[in-house]
Amino acid sequence: MAGTAGKPENRRVTEKIGIVGAGIVGLAVARELATTRGAEVTVLEKEGRVAAHQTGHNSGVVHAGIYYPPGSLKARLCREGVALLKDYCAANELPYDEVGKLVIASSGAERSQLSALAERARANGVPGIAELDALALREIEPHAVGVGAIHSPHTAICDFAAVARRLALDVVELGGSVRLSHPVRAIRERPAGVQVLAGRRRFTFDRLVVCGGLGSDAVARMAGEPGEVRIVPFRGEFYALRGAAKDLVRGLIYPVPDPRYPFLGVHLTRQTDGEVLVGPNAVLALAYEGYGWRNIRNFRQILGWPGTIRLARRHWRTGLKEIRGSLVKSAFLRGAQRYVPELTASDLVRAGSGVRAQAVARDGSMVDDFVVDVHDNVVLVRNAPSPAATSSLAIARHIAGIVPALVR
């Protein structure tokens, strides 16, 4: 019924929010905004499926929060994210298994770092952290060796691609849409909102949230906000254990991380389907989707960023070591044998690769923490590497809290 003259109707204004990227972070953000803000959300994804890149090409580890500086966004959102993800997987009957993790010191020098790492984990609220000697670690992983270890019994594994697919269904059930094969081609801010040309369609949103992962730089440039960091892609290559060798690993076996790098080194990780992955390494890729050596599609953009060259000059020795591990199977094998010496070359078979979107500053430093920038009606996720998948539901809450409210 029409309202009485002179008494305007009270109409609820529904926000229209676009999200670029149908990885686990983008889909989690869409679900959160639809749930808590009642927004009409539209997810724009250039690929023909969700979770096509980082979400679908990782080791499936739900990180407990051992490594991250206390007080950082990574530390806080990782711990929040673990709890949210565990509950979400249980509610949706998705695989989630607390197989536990050992961080193993293979030398006396590394053992001296374990206590500091354990204290950091406890400061971050990681439950059940225990420091073990060489004998005790073998009670947990009978085929592993080392001079000491940290045990995180509640570190888990899940299927992040399956989580992303469930999030996409949630978005649709909440009245939103997930538009696949809709690459973003242009972005313009107008008084009426943010106009986005994606695929062959033009959309107008009140707000736009960019969770573009490997494509973050390209979308940021379209939005007129290139920023002071750039995505530098690092390829991580995996082997898988075959046959009886899978029984040599019960859970997750990790090295003591090198504090100079955000990468955790070659490790052994059991999967929810019973497979065991070995890797990844970290090789500079010359394409944003450079899953193999032959793809050098974006080398001009990547090497044209001053930070890339400065990073390479600073860490060229480590870079050469990683390249050797990529090209020479025996070098990769030695990294795994350091922790599980029974492994042989015949136990390892190639198992694909993933590409990590790592933000690098102009001075060549790798940005460690999550970074989210707000520019008027556009929110840009500029750095969301591991543990972003673990933290995705918490990242979504964080972003929902900083997306400017609609005022009309």
| Predicted local confidence at residue 317, as pLDDT | 85
Closest by CA position to 271, among listed 215, 357, 352, 358: 352
In this model, does residue 99 exceed pLDDT 90?
Answer: yes
Residue 343 phi/psi, 5-degree rounding, is -65, 145
**Residue carrying structure tokens 């691609």:** 161
Query: What is the pLDDT, as a whole number, of residue 12?
Result: 56
Contact by Cβ (8 Å): 40, 193: no
Backbone Cα Rg of the chain: 22
Per-residue confidence (pLDDT) for residue 11, from 0 to 100 = 46
Question: What are the structural domains of the chain?
Answer: 15-96+157-228+362-408 (3.50.50.60), 97-156+231-359 (3.30.9.10)
Which candidate, 405, 401, 397, 402, places its Cα nearest to that of 29?
A: 397
**Which residues have CB under 8 Å from 148's CB, separation 6+?**
104, 105, 111, 114, 131, 132, 133, 134, 137
Instruction: Name the pLDDT band for 263 (thresholds 50, 70, 90).
Output: low
Phi, psi (5° rounding) for residue 72? -75, 160
Quick check: 208 and 378 in contact, CB under 8 A?
Answer: yes
Q: What is the mean pLDDT of the chain?
A: 93
Going by their DSSP bridges, the two strands 40-44 and 177-179 should be labelled as parallel
Residue 3's pLDDT is: 39
Position 1 pLDDT exceeds 60: no
Q: What is the mean pLDDT of residues 200-219?
A: 96
Mean pLDDT for 332-353 is 95
User: What does the pLDDT read at residue 382?
Assistant: 95
**What whole-number distance in Å separates Cα of residue 160 and Cα of residue 358?**
19
Structure confidence at residue 405 (pLDDT): 74
Amino acid (one-letter) located at 401? G
**Residue 261 binned pLDDT confidence (cut-offs 50, 70, 90):** low
CB 212 within 8 A of CB 43: no
The tens digit of pLDDT for each residue in 16-69 reads 999 999 999 999 999 999 999 999 999 999 999 999 999 999 999 999 999 999
For residue 179, the surrounding DSSP H or E stretch is strand 177-179
The answer to whether the pTM exceeds 0.85 is yes
* pLDDT exceeds cutoff 60 at 214: yes
> What's residue 319's pLDDT?
84
**Which bin fits 364, alpha (ψ -120 to 50), beta or left (φ > 0)?**
left
- Say what angle helices 24-36 and 388-402 make with each other, to 10 degrees: 40
Four-residue CA torsion sign, 53, 58, 61, 63:
negative
Residue 408: what pLDDT? 54
Q: How many C-beta atoms surround the C-beta of residue 162 within 10 A?
A: 17
Strand order in the sheet with 96-97: 61-62, 156-158, 96-97
β 16-20/207-210 pair status:
parallel
Residue 347, C-beta contacts closer than 8 angstroms, at least 6 positions apart: 241, 242, 243, 245
User: Is-contact 48 178, C-beta < 8 A?
Assistant: no
pLDDT the model gives residue 300? 94
- Ordered strands of the 201-205 beta sheet: 184-190, 193-198, 201-205
> Any idea what DSSP says for residue 67?
S
Max distance between CA atoms of the chain, in angstroms, equals 84
CB atoms within 10 A of CB 11: 7
pLDDT beyond 80 at 322: yes
Separation in Å, CA 263 to CA 135, 156, 201, 281: 28, 19, 39, 8
Mean pLDDT of 351-378: 94
Contact 378, 196 (CB under 8 A): no
pLDDT at 9 (0 to 100): 45
Distance CA 83, CA 80 (A): 6
Identify the pLDDT of residue 6. 44
- pLDDT for 220-259, tens place per residue? 999 999 888 999 999 999 999 999 999 999 999 999 987 6
At 265, is the pLDDT very low, low, confident or very high (cuts 50, 70, 90)? confident
Question: Is a pLDDT exceeding 90 seen at residue 315?
Answer: no
